[in-house]
Every structure is written in C-alpha cells, then in structure tokens.
Structure 1
C-alpha cells in the first residue's frame, strides 16, 4: 500500500513543476526589463551630460574669458615689418586661445610677399604667439632705373626694400608677373641663393659672361661659375680657396671644375681668361689652388 501511496504523491508534484517554470520565466523577464530601463536611463543621462559639456565648451571657446589679449610676433624683419605686425595683431585680437583661426591669420598677411608662412601657438588663457617665416631677397633685379627683389625660388618680392648688401642681377626688362621668367637671371639667382653665409654679404653682382656665370666680390677675386651645375661643390671650393693664403692677390677664381680650382690674373677677367669650350676648362697660365684628387 505504501508503494502505491508514493506513486500517488509523485504524480501530484508534476503539475506544480510545470506551473513553476512560467513563473520563473516571468520573473527573469521583469528583471531584464528593469535592467534594460536602467541602462537606457543611464545612457540618456550620459548623453545629456555630454551635450551640456559640449555646449559649455562651445560657449567657453568663444567667450571673453579666453579672449586673446597678449600677442607676440616674431620672425619679422623685412621692410614690410610694421604692416605685417599690425595686420596679424588686428586679426589675432578677434580670436580666443581656444579658437585660433589660422586661416584668418594667413589671409591677413596674404598680400605681403615677404611672408612665406606662419606658426601660431596659443597660451591659455589669453596669450598668442605667432612666428613668421619670411622670404629673404636672394638678388635685386635691375632694369635701367627700375628694380625689384627676388626670392631664391624666383618669386618677385614687390613692396620689399632689400638692404644694401643684396647682390644685383641685371635684366633687359623686369618681369610683369609674379615670378622671374628669364632663364639666365634665374640661373644667376640660383647661384646666389647657394652662397654660404660667410660670403653672402660680399657678393656685389652676378651675370653671364663669355665663360658663363660670373660673380663679383667685394674686396676679393671674381668668381667664374660657368654653368649652373654643381653649385654647392663650387661654393665649397670658393670658400676653401679664399681662405688659403696662396690665393691672395688673385683677381679671379675659375670654379668650373671645383676639384681643380684655378686662381690667377693680375688684370681683369676678360684679358686673363680665354674663352673655354666647356665647363671645367681653366685659363692658360692660371695655377690650380689646393687641387683635389
């Protein structure tokens, strides 16, 4: 009888187990729903905070609290210096240190040929430092009583007054465009632009002669470059020979073959050097100085 009773008790529990399963599922579903709702509320709260922070930053970025009041400008030394400084300062004072509009700074000086580029550095809360990268005249183009400086890259620097040490390159007429278009003059400018710092202030003029490009130095011999090739090697040879006491008294240096530089002449170049058929031919009677193997 007991065995039959046990069987009866087991059969009564089976329906209850079936009823408990849906109940547990409903509880889990309600818990997941509450968790999901909390997650959505958190995301909304985070989103609102981000929006408020963004709005606050946008307000602060252009507010008077971070307005530019102290402007430092460096790197300006050309004859356009005063106008460049005024233009940059006027543009900078309309900005904040959190919103430096570099394109407006560039636009403010776009009309000045001496300015090649700008770098701006903000100093929180109210300082702005601007570095100007300038174009330096490599030569002064002269045609009759007209003249205009030109950069190493051939850009005409209209409105810039060069100093008295800028070497002269004579041309038949001044260019009417923005750049130097005369090939011979461009070659002369390229040679002048390659001059080492210790010789830049000594060059008086450059021009084409019977032996190619020739440069006149202050208190020194004329330099015969010939062609535009190997400019750096020729300047290196000129610097070396000019520093050598054995070249003292020479009226010219023939640099057309830089490894075998010829120093000579007691008279002007025209009477001392005969026409050379190619770059690297030295004048008769001109002794080589410091030949390099």
Structure 2
C-alpha cells in the first residue's frame, strides 16, 4: 500500500507547491528570489545557514543525498528556515534581508499573509533530486546565463572562489559541484587556472539543468534566461506568473542593480576568455551563446 505524501506544516500553514530557484552561481536566482519575496503571499528565504549546511553537504558528498534520511534532513532544514519568529530575520543572510526590505529585527512577513513558500539559496540545484522527493508537488524555476558572464562574476566573488581552496575540496569524486566528471581528472583540475574552474562549475550546473529538463514535467519546471530577466522583465514576469499561477512582482526586477548582460567583453582577460570558451564550448554553443 502506497503511503500518502508527507505534508509539511510551518507556523500552522501547509506547505503546498513550494517554489525552488535553481542555477549556476551568479545566474540570477537571487534576482528572481527578490521578485518572489516581494510578491503577495510569498515567503521566500535565501541562504539561511540551516539550509546552506545541508545543501553544501549534499554537493560535496553526493552519496549523502541518496541515503534514506536525506529527504527528512532537507525538509527539516527548510521548515526551520521558513519559521516566522520575532527575530527570525536576524538569522538571514544580508541579500535576503535586503531583498525583503528588512531594516529592524524583523520578521519580514506576517504569517497571516503567507500562502506559498519558496527558497532561492545559492547552489540549491545540487539538491534538486532530494527536493523533488521531499516536495513532490514543488515548482522549480531554473535560471540559465551566459557562462562567460558567470565566470566573470565568479572571479570577482571571494565566496565562490573559496570553494576552490584545497581545504574545501569535496569529499567525493566524480563531483558535479566542481564539474569534475572523473576521478582521474582531479589532478588536472588542481592545476587549472581559476577561470577554467569557474567554467567547469557553470558547465556542471548547466548539465544538471538539462537533466532536470528531460526528467521533470512541464508543469513543474520552468527555464528562464538571465538575459531575458534583465532585458525583458515584463515578459519574464508574465511567463513566471502563468507558471506559478500567482501574481509575481516585477517592480523588484526594475529596481534591482543587476549585473550587465555581456559584461564579460570588458571584464574577462583574453587568456581567461579563451579558457572559459574552451572548457564550456559545447554548452555555450548548445545554448546559443557561441556560434557553432
């Protein structure tokens, strides 16, 4: 006999059709989370420590995500993150507090207003299979961005670069988090310039996105391009509104200082650009960012 699905209850509210934002680093998940966070009825968290610890544990050691307890651990972490308490916003990362317009101790939302939950934590894409098991009715929105712009932003982000330190190397290989497909490639990865490592991270995340596109039904997964989000915000929000069946704020997109599209042309050194395009050529071409 099939057991009924587990229904999570947070602050007396049943979590139904939660929304998770996925993508490679600096692909626009934070920008989209800002829009959802300011939309009526949504309670969206970004980068809470309780979620980040679980997400990075799964990313560094993928076998954990295949254990019987993985679903419960991730569900409990999200339940803690979504709890609305008098000082809960004080535990949030600064991007989440800023997106919610928090100026005091919080909270940023009233429980009486919440109808949908969501999370836009960095690197959530590596937990997508576990999220689907934890929330079978979840909606996923994945962001795709030009890998050259992603590499340029990663090279300027100390938090992203920190994952390339030897002390923080994943516990298991092959490892999608670093984009290392085979154990024997690890030594080659260690000697690769940082721009190449950034390209590998983008390539690995994009391949995960493609796998999700093949396995999830259309009603559960929407793919948006960062370029459209920035250059055509009204159209992107209309698409998202239809997909989520709820109104999404576009004001946050217009007000945000989003990284410029195509900034790689002035931000990447010629040698770094050449390496990024070499490492990620197949995916850049398939997605239309490079001509074949």
TM-score clears 0.5: no
* Larger relative contact order, structure 1 or 2 (CA cutoff 8 Å, min sep 6): 2
Q: Which has the higher helix share?
A: 2
Q: TM-score interval w.r.t. the shorter chain?
A: under 0.3
> TM-score, length-normalised on structure 1?
0.22
